[in-house]
Chain A
Amino acid sequence: MFFYLIRRILYAIPIALAVGLVCFMLVQIAPGDPINAIVPADAPAEVVEQVRRDYGLDKPLPVQFVLWLGRVVQGDLGRSLATGRPVTADLRSAVGNTLMLALVAAFIGFVMGSILGTVAAVFRGTVLDKLAVGLAAAGVSIPHYWLGMVLVVFFSVTLNWLPAMGAGPGGSGDWEWNWAHVQFLVLPAVTLSVIPMGIVTRTVRGVVMELLAQDFVTTLRGKGLRRGGIALHVLKNAAPSVLAVMGLQLGYLMGGSILVETVFSWPGTGFLLNSAIFQRDLPVLQGTILVLAIFFVVLNLAVDLVQTALDPRIRRA
């Protein structure tokens, strides 16, 4: 177990480095001089030259990458071209907001998906099963940015129950866990939750079906165990694979919330990315993507480790 742990953690390091390389290359593949990712286009020529030397942009690419990596490791992601603020300052609150949104959405999706999936597996082949499978299919097929708009039309425009955009009354401000703030979270979180809902439903349905067909369940039944007791055994066995799927989904939600955040003007990383794309603010684009991708790498690692701890059979040679 210990060696597996070490090896798995060590394996994440080259991946993280490669992710850094991809993010570094993003600025290189962008049209125009990479220097434009550091200084505004209208800066005087001597300033541009100064910065070029300071940042080592006159050196070969591999050297530049190492220099860039050095700055990143020290927490310097550069400055936003649009605002002049350090990228990390903007990112801090944005990552928090996105994480909160993703966690709530993942929770809703997980609960709904587990219920739907279990019901579908237990009542296999019935109308309930077909309904759950249909919902799951709709959940993964629906363009969630469109679902967000539909929900806004219904709950904000028509019924006037929930706010259509933003993350708190009176524009920006500190988040508090009261209804005045939480009401802003409801629609984006529900919108974002349909994807994990669909995927978790499918996974749970498959796993529970497979487990219900196994000998030990027959034995439990023969032993006279009631439904609730059997459910406990089955769920215990289903947990590792479902948790793994859920963990990955959280990562996908973090990275994929850009569209939903755009619809609801939710001040998270997606919103930041969107404005960075709009203003061609490459440092912000690069920094945000790097942080989200590294988060995903760490999450993957955590999921693997938790899964192995829960189910030693998974440990590969």
Chain B
Amino acid sequence: MSTAIAPAAIAVPQPAPSRGYWAGVARRLSRDPVTLFFGALLLLMALAILLAPLIAPHDPYQTSMIRRLRPIWFQDGRYPLGTDELGRDMLTRLLYGGRLSWFLGITPVLIAFAIGGTLGVVAGFAGGWVNMLIMRTTDVFYAFPSVLLAVAISGALGPGVSNAMLSLTLVFIPQIIRVAESTTTAVRNLDYVESARASGAGPMTIVRVHVLPNVLGPVFVYSTSLISVAMILASGLSFLGLGTKPPEPEWGLMLNTLRTAIYTQPLIAMLPGLCIFLTSMCFNMVSDGLRTAMDVRG
């Protein structure tokens, strides 16, 4: 294969004007009340946890032996969602806890998107032994159910936020590689890529102009659908004592430490889990809406 020849690439007809496509996506999204609703909810939650230091009524680490596990609306709303097993304000803990939970849910997917997407496109476009090497390695990781793989890696490495993030990233990379590889392979064999090659476009040009615009969309949509899984898994690791360490507020860990309170203050003990559920549900619904709006199959 010859390397990039710029003049020939100009002769290649540009792919359909992308502005029209994105305008279409935006129009379809604006007519989808369900996605808009969950998207707005997501935005609201993001805002709340970002502004936690400004809006939280108390200090997230301030414990108190005399007001442990107080009910919802304790002291006429001074503690709107009650207090936890160490007397800390629940609302404050939930707001601060969201920061770590969101971070742990989103970052591994972002890193995996960058690494897995690149490897997948390389495998799909290069084919041959490069493809063999990358895809057979992915097969091995596919031989582990994702929860098990995450638990195995973090279990071996020991507790800690960075270990949990590393294990989650490793869980998602193979999944993203597979989607990127299959999409790339499908695009690579299309006629217009063939004609671009025939008119002398180099591999880098073909990848940049023809492959990436067609591959990024589906891989991105797939990755957004992983965020909800990542949130549940990340909180799950903390729930097992593998992610965050106390007294750091994090929804999974809070759910774990409040487990004993289900007999005395069941409502309060349920709150962190409700937050995980809501966030994960919102991400799922928005991802589904994006998939439809962007007309991604599969």
In the complex the two chains form, is A292's CB within 8 Å of B148's CB? yes
Is A152 an interface residue, CB under 8 A from the partner?
yes
Q: Is the CB of B156 within 8 A of A282?
A: yes
B145 & A152 in contact (Cβ 8 Å cutoff)? no
Q: Are A153 and B266 in contact (CB under 8 A)?
A: yes
Any chain A CB within 8 A of the CB of B180? Answer: no
Q: Tell me how many residue pairs across A and B have CB atoms closer than 8 Å.
A: 140
Query: Is the C-beta of B25 less than 8 angstroms from some C-beta in chain A?
Result: no
Residues of A within 8 A of B239 (CB): 145, 259, 262
Contact size range, A: 35 or more
Of the listed stretches B77-85, B206-214, B215-223, B276-284, name the one at the interface; the rest are far from the partner chain.
B276-284
Q: How far is the CB of A291 from chain B (nearest CB, A)?
A: 11
With A22-B140, A22-B144, A137-B285 known as contacts, the answer to whether A149 contacts B269 (CB < 8 A) is yes
Query: Residue B175 at the A interface, CB < 8 A?
Result: no
Judge if B112 is at the interface, Cβ distance under 8 Å: no
A297 within 8 A of B: yes
**Taking the nearest CB of chain B, how far is it from the CB of A202, in angstroms?**
10
A255 at the interface (CB under 8 A from B): yes
Check A300 for interface membership: any CB of B closer than 8 A.
Answer: yes
Verify B240–A259 contact, CB threshold 8 A: yes
Contacts of B144 in A (CB 8 A): 19, 22, 255, 289, 293, 296
Central interface residue in B143, B239, B241, by most chain A CB within 10 Å: B143
Judge whether B152 is part of the interface by a CB distance below 8 angstroms: yes
Q: Is the CB of A255 within 8 A of B276?
A: no
Q: Residue A61 at the B interface, CB < 8 A? A: no
Whether A143 and B236, one on each chain, are in contact in the complex, defined by CB atoms closer than 8 angstroms, is: yes
A15 within 8 A of partner (CB): yes
Q: Is the CB of A146 within 8 A of B273?
A: yes
Q: Interface with A: B88-96, B191-199, B255-263, which one?
A: B255-263
Quick check: is A104 within 8 A (CB to CB) of the other chain?
A: no
A-contact bits for B170-188, CB 8 A (1 contact / 0 none):
0000000000000000000
Closest chain A CB from B41 CB (angstroms)? 13
Can you list 7 pairs linking A and B with CB atoms under 8 Å apart? A26-B155, A137-B281, A140-B284, A143-B280, A146-B255, A263-B259, A278-B241
